[in-house]
Amino acid sequence: STDGGRNLSLDSIPMGLPMSDPSAWATAMNNLGMAPMGMTGQPLLPDFDPALGMMTGIPPINPMMPGLGIVPPPIPPDMPAVKEIIHCKSCTLFPPNPHLPPPATRERPPGCKTVFVGGLPENGTEQIIMEVFEQCGEVIAIRKSKKNFCHIRFAEEFMVDKALYLSGYRIRLGSSTDKKDTGRLHVDFAQARDDLYEWECKQRMLAREERHRRRLAEERFHPPSPPPVVHYSDHECSVVAEKLKDDTKFLEAIQTLLTWIERGEVNRRTANNFYSMIQSANSHIRRLVNEKAAHEKEMEEAKEKFKLALSGILVQFEQIVAVYHSASKQKAWDHFTKAQRKNISVWCKQAEEIRNIHNDELMGIRREEEMEMSDEEIEDPSEMKETEESALVSQVEALKEENDSLRWQLDAYRNEVELLKQEQGKASRDEDTTKEQQMKLLQQALQGMQKHLLKVQEEYKKREAELEKVKEDKLKIETLLENLKEQESNMSRVCACSQEKECPVEKTLSNSPVKSEREVLLVGIISTFLHVHPFGASIEYICSYLQRLDSKICTAEVEVLMTRLQNTFRQELSGVGASLEKRWKFCGFDGLKMT
């Protein structure tokens, strides 16, 4: 760690001292693949090419490369590094045995700028250490222990890689052979809190820059924010009400109205204003429906124009193909050359293919129209009457509700007019003009509402008259049904009496397919119903008619009864495939002849 370490001034150290043997240092740096640098920072070999080193297999290292955790690749074991003697002013460095394995190092800490140097001579000073390691780069601090090791902190991370190159060298001070003046250097990575802190700060700075770049990129693609909605006031309310009446400004005004309602601006004082704006918005529904109908009409007209144009194109294609066919006949064909005949035949094939494609397209359009026409089902007259009646009732109820709401709105407007009249006498002359305008606006609104109310009342009277007519028709139909029931009951009694006279009761009950008076009534009603429908009816349609008279009648009972009376009712199949349908028909007149 560098805590408590002593910083050294670079000015006090002679940086321009000449090396005793500059060629040895240049040879050692060249073996590592680095550009040889002198004490003053000038290159020793100006023509040095980093890509061409003495040792093949060692990749070149750029000394100015920032050290972002880059560790030089290990030297292959089958190619030992040739290290040379390094001569300094106060000491000499002897290389290790090239046959020995490289010195072991610990795992490199993140952002490491500090190295541990062990095996120093006992008489080694900080000046000697600086003299040896300043060749690797700028030294910021040296922390020397009383024992034979120290910690050196460099300015950049890549300088640590250069310092590790000196690991394993034997150092000798001057020409002395004393044990205290010699030692074997061991250089390794050191874990320092300052290095880790600077690395973390750098990573945080990079993360902040990345977040800033991402935020700018996201903001560039963000859609623009919508314009702010004004706050509610009487003046803004009148402006929005005018905009709601204008078709071009309706979308902007309806968004403002929606925002006001969601904000909770509706209260007792502003309820009438909001109701009038909502009513103005409702008046646009008819316009939108008309616009949709107009667009649909335009689409249908465009379809018709397309179909007509396509049919005209097909006619022209047919004429062109007819020309080719007539030219292919022997009368005219013999007069053309081979090249002309070939071109005519090719043109004829192309024209026929294009004609067939257009013809298929036109047939597809016609098929779709036929399918749309076939999908429209024709409703029964009784069901049509019921739907019309229910629609009339719903319309009458809607008109009643609208009439009531209009009356309430008229009362509210009258109350506002009375309040304005009372306030007009008390207010000053400055406010008279604004109130007169409000009065005129309210009077115009009242006149419009009264006209609308008269129209609604007229429509209400018309609907009531139509409803009364429908009720009268319904009563007539019910009376006819009652008469039919009486006739059927009389017929069943007559049949029962004749049967009792002809044969005993027990035999008739055992032999006749009709087992009760209720089944006789059902047979009569079904016969009358099927006589009205000469093309037959499905069992569901018959049961729906019978269930109006008696809700307890089930489909299975009716079907079993009709199957027993084969001379009276006959079942037939109509349709093909998925549209196959079973229909029952009345055949009593034919069955009477057969029996």
pLDDT in tens, 156-174: 999 999 999 899 899 988 8
What domain range includes position 546?
Answer: 517-592
Do residues 269 and 294 share a domain? yes
For 507-516, what is the mean pLDDT? 61
Tens-digit pLDDT profile for residues 15-37? 333 344 445 445 544 544 454 45
Do residues 164 and 117 share a domain? yes
| Cα–Cα nearest to 389, from 473, 470, 476, 478 | 470
Contact 98, 83 (CB under 8 A): yes
Do residues 269 and 315 share a domain? no
Is residue 429 domain-resident?
no
For 49-72, what is the mean pLDDT? 41
Among the ranges given (324-338, 505-519, 550-564), the one the predictor scored with the smallest mean pLDDT: 505-519
Do residues 196 and 104 share a domain? yes
DSSP characters for 109-152? PTT--EEEEE---TT--HHHHHHHHTTTS-EEEEEE-SSSEEEE
Do residues 322 and 255 share a domain? no
Tens-digit pLDDT profile for residues 187-210? 999 999 999 999 999 999 999 999
Report the CATH number that the domain containing residue 108 is assigned in CATH: 3.30.70.330
* Number of domains composing the chain: 4
pTM of the predicted protein model: 0.30
Residue where a domain terminates, one of 354, 369, 384: 369
pLDDT score of 510 more than 80: no
Residue where a domain terminates, one of 285, 307, 329: 307
Report the CATH number that the domain containing residue 536 is assigned in CATH: 1.10.10.10
Task: Calculate ∠ Cα 253-257-262, nearest 5°.
Answer: 150
172 membership: H or E segment, kind and range: strand 170-173
Q: How would residue 117 be classed by pLDDT, with cut points 50, 70 and 90?
A: very high
Tens-digit pLDDT profile for residues 261-313? 988 888 989 899 999 999 888 988 888 999 999 999 999 899 888 888 888 88
Do residues 98 and 167 share a domain? yes
Do residues 167 and 243 share a domain? no
Do residues 253 and 285 share a domain? yes
Do residues 96 and 198 share a domain? yes
Residue where a domain terminates, one of 255, 272, 307: 307
**Could you give the CA distance from residue 566 to residue 498 in angstroms, rounded to a whole number?**
21
Q: String of b and e for 143-167 (b: at least 16 CB within 10 Å)?
A: bbeeeeebbbbbeebbbbbbbbbbb
Do residues 539 and 564 share a domain? yes
Do residues 92 and 188 share a domain? yes
| Residue 580 CB-density burial (10 A; 0-12 exposed, 13-18 middle, 19+ buried) | exposed
Do residues 349 and 364 share a domain? yes
